[in-house]
């Protein structure tokens, strides 16, 4: 291949990289601009409105247009195709999200309630919601960040279907995948198949997969941390203005996703700025510092006025009710008794090197937790790996093995001259991730530190260029073991299809009765929205007796109507019964 062909090939890869970059950027900008519009609305005395999400979407495309013209130089046709791809992703995200019911505990207890209240004209800057709206869970609705819920409620205002808000999970996942592809096309090192495989491995963190069809926010946080690293790389290499815009958007969302988002944003920002200083890229440093400072101020003081400023003013801590006056002890409710006298490192080690287990603390407050040999597997691992929010070994049964192999690989390749030249940068990256992990006291629970997934992956990827033949199998073991963990976590999807079908069947039967249904919501008061959307009249009261049934995967109970007709079961529920799926 001659020089001209090589140049043409490189140009083609850069164009493809730009295409995927703009696709990912637009999806993240759509969410961050929706978040900004909703927050501005609160200050003006209004609320989340149906115009905000479409306006944010169009604004993100206009930003892409300006970037294409001024810096990336994407041709007109690829730009229009990217707009179409982004639109298709948004539409599919909404449709898929609407298909599934969120059957998670936190989703049903306060996340859905937050989306519903914001979508029905609650302005958190003006009023606090009374405890009556959601019993003991109202404190979380009133005081937790709303970085996910504001865009979700803006989608809900359009669709009038509460489950559609989960579309933001799919949008963030798609954005992460596109940005990974953009990165791999930019470095132009692998085949297309390997680019797709590695991009999927990086974004399909088991925490992200497990939470994909729920209102949990840890999965979004995991992908956005990855996107932060990619944007930091693009700034470090090329100081792209578009990457600075991406970095700012990510930070605005991350600090408002959950309280630990503020901590992670600080740690990764400091790590990135330190990297620029070490490499004497002072112009890049000044520009990045300005971006980080502006995004942080907007994210915390403007978008995050609720909860950070309000919580500080009224309760003495921006992170109330986790800290501050009358703080609420949350973690002890799910703590094994044996963990209470252990430090964060001991708990982390035990959780990493044990079986993947849900730990039903409400049944056994002090379950036996036994260590296992990496890469071994038993029934407990297989049963629990697909579940959401797994406490022990939450990144999958083969993750401990991947960690062990990655440490061995790191030691072997760090002696290579090429690695030593980049060694300080690699150490800064890996150290930043480690510091972010152990800054969280409860790092033993994978969903609190989903960025842990990146450590073995990054070590395997970064070693690609310097591996000698007899060491390649170490890298393959890491990729294969993590891929198997992803495969196990994906079992959650068909399980949720069955659970959603059962809820729809249950709702159809209650609606067909034509009666007003007596219900008792208990912890999951948001379940009333299912009845509203299915046009089933309800009355809330305390229920007892033999005619009581439970809403699928919920604490909500109802009294069976006497004239409830028999309706045919869908084929998937017949299959579920045959397979004896619980």
Q: What is the DSSP string of 386-410?
A: TSTT-SBTTT-TTHHHHHHHHHHHH
**Angle (CA) 356 358 363, round 5°:** 140
For the stretch 305-328, what's the b/e string if a residue is b when 16 or more beta carbons lie within 10 angstroms of its beta carbon?
bbbbebbeeebeebbbbbebeeee
Cα–chain center distance at 35: 16
Phi, psi of 414 (to 5 degrees): -70, -15
Burial of 141 (0-12, 13-18, 19+ CB in 10 A): buried
Q: What is the 3-state secondary structure (H, E, C) of 185-210?
A: HHHCCCCHHHHHHHHHHHHCCHHHHH
Nearest to 494 by CA among 413, 407, 564, 573: 573
Q: Half-sphere exposure of residue 425, counting CA atoms within 13 Å on the CB side?
A: 17
What tens-digit pLDDT sequence spans the chain (582 residues)? 444 554 555 578 888 999 999 999 999 999 999 999 999 999 999 999 999 999 999 999 999 999 888 766 567 777 888 999 999 999 999 999 999 999 999 999 999 999 999 999 999 999 999 988 877 789 999 999 999 999 999 999 999 999 999 999 999 999 999 999 999 999 988 999 999 999 999 999 999 999 999 999 999 999 999 999 999 999 999 988 999 999 999 999 999 999 999 999 999 999 999 999 999 999 999 999 999 999 999 999 999 999 999 999 999 999 999 998 778 877 877 888 889 889 999 999 999 999 999 888 877 888 889 999 999 999 999 999 999 989 999 999 999 999 999 999 998 888 775 666 678 899 999 999 999 999 999 999 999 999 999 999 999 999 887 777 778 999 999 999 999 999 999 999 999 999 999 999 999 999 999 999 999 998 899 999 999 999 999 999 999 988 999 999 999 999 999 888 889 999 999 998 988 887
Helix (H) or strand (E) holding 503: helix 492-513
Nearest to 208 by CA among 224, 226, 220: 220
348/403 Cα distance (integer angstroms): 13
Tokens of 572: 């998937």
333/330 Cα distance (integer angstroms): 6
Location of structure tokens 């299959």 = 575
Location of structure tokens 């005395």 = 45
74/80 Cα distance (integer angstroms): 10
293/513 Cα distance (integer angstroms): 58
Q: 3-class SS at 518?
A: strand
Q: Compute the residue count for the chain.
A: 582
Q: 3-class SS at 519?
A: strand
308/303 Cα distance (integer angstroms): 9
CB of 225 closer than 8 Å to CB of 28 = no
Q: What spatial distance separates the first Cα and last Cα of the chain, rounded to whole Å?
A: 58
Q: Is the dihedral of CA 228, 232, 234, 239 positive or negative?
A: positive
CB of 486 closer than 8 Å to CB of 219 = no
How, if at all, do strands 548-550 and 538-540 pair? unpaired
CB of 264 closer than 8 Å to CB of 452 = no
Output Rg (C-alpha) for the chain, integer angstroms: 24
CB of 145 closer than 8 Å to CB of 39 = no
How, if at all, do strands 517-520 and 538-540 pair? parallel
Tokens of 155: 């989608």
Nearest to 554 by CA among 100, 103, 101: 103
Location of structure tokens 């941390």 = 225
Q: How many CB atoms lie under 10 A from the CB of residue 164?
A: 21
CB of 528 closer than 8 Å to CB of 519 = yes
Residue-wise DSSP of 28-39 = HHHHHHHHHHHH
Q: How many CB atoms lie under 10 A from the CB of residue 236?
A: 17
**Angle (CA) 354 356 357, round 5°:** 105
Q: What is the dihedral of CA 420, 424, 426, 431, to 10 degrees?
A: 140
CB of 429 closer than 8 Å to CB of 228 = no
Residue-range domain boundaries for the chain: 3-315, 331-489, 493-579
Looking at the DSSP assignment, which residues form a beta bridge with residue 540?
519
Nearest to 148 by CA among 128, 177, 169, 162: 169
- The reported pLDDT for the residue numbered 71 is 67
> Helix, strand, coil: what percent of the chain each, to 5?
65, 5, 30
Sheet of 517-520: strands edge to edge? 538-540, 517-520, 557-559, 548-550
């Amino acid at each position: 291949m001659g020089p001209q062909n090589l140049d043409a090939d490189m140009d083609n890869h850069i164009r493809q990289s730009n295409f995927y970059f703009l696709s990912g950027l637009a999806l993240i900008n759509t969410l961050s601009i929706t978040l900004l519009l909703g927050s501005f609305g609160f200050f003006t005395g209004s609320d989340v409105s149906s115009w905000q999400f479409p306006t944010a979407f169009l604004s993100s495309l206009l930003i892409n247009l300006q970037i294409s013209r001024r810096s990336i130089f994407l041709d007109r046709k690829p730009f229009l195709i990217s707009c179409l791809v982004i639109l298709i992703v948004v539409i599919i995200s909404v449709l898929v999200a609407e298909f599934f019911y969120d059957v998670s505990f936190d989703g049903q207890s306060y996340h859905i309630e937050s989306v519903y209240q914001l979508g029905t004209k609650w302005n958190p800057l003006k009023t606090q919601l009374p405890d009556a709206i959601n019993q003991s869970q109202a404190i979380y609705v009133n005081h937790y960040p709303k970085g996910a819920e504001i865009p979700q409620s803006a989608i809900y205002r359009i669709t009038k279907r509460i489950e559609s808000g989960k579309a933001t999970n799919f949008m963030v996942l798609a954005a992460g995948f596109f940005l990974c592809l953009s990165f791999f096309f930019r470095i132009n090192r692998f085949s297309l198949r390997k680019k797709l495989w590695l991009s999927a491995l990086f974004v399909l963190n088991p925490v992200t997969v497990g939470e994909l069809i729920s209102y949990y926010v840890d999965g979004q946080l995991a992908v956005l941390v990855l996107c932060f690293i990619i944007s930091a790389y693009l700034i470090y290499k090329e100081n792209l203005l578009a990457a600075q815009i991406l970095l700012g958007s990510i930070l605005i969302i991350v600090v408002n996703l959950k309280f630990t988002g503020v901590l992670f944003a600080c740690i990764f920002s400091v790590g990135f700025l330190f990297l620029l200083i070490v490499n004497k890229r002072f112009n890049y440093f000044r520009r990045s510092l300005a971006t980080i400072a502006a995004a942080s101020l907007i994210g915390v003081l403007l978008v995050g006025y609720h909860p950070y400023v309000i919580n500080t003013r009224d309760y003495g801590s921006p992170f109330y009710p986790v800290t501050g006056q009358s703080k609420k002890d949350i973690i002890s409710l799910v703590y094994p008794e044996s963990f209470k006298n252990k430090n964060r490192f001991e708990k982390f080690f035990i959780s990493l090197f044990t079986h993947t287990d849900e730990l039903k603390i409400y049944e056994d407050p002090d379950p036996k937790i036994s260590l296992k040999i990496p890469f071994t597997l038993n029934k407990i691992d297989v049963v629990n790996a697909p579940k959401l929010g797994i406490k022990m070994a939450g990144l999958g049964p083969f993750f401990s093995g991947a960690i062990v192999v990655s440490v061995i690989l790191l030691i072997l390749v760090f002696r290579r001259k090429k690695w030593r030249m980049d060694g300080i940068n690699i150490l800064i990256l890996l150290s930043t991730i480690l510091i972010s992990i152990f800054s969280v006291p409860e790092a033993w629970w994978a969903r609190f530190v989903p960025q842990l997934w990146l450590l073995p992956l990054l070590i395997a990827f970064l070693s690609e260029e310097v591996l000698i033949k007899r060491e390649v199998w170490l890298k393959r073991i890491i990729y294969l073991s993590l891929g198997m963990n992803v495969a196990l976590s994906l079992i959650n999807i068909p399980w949720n299809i069955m659970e959603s079908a059962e809820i729809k069947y249950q709702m159809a039967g209650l609606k067909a009765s034509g009666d007003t249904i007596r219900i008792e919501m208990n912890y999951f008061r948001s379940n009333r929205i299912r009845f509203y959307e299915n046009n089933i009249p309800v009355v809330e009261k305390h229920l007892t007796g033999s005619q009581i049934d439970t809403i699928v995967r919920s604490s909500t109970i109802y009294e069976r109507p006497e004239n409830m007709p028999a309706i045919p079961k869908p084929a998937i529920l017949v299959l579920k019964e045959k397979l004896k799926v619980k």
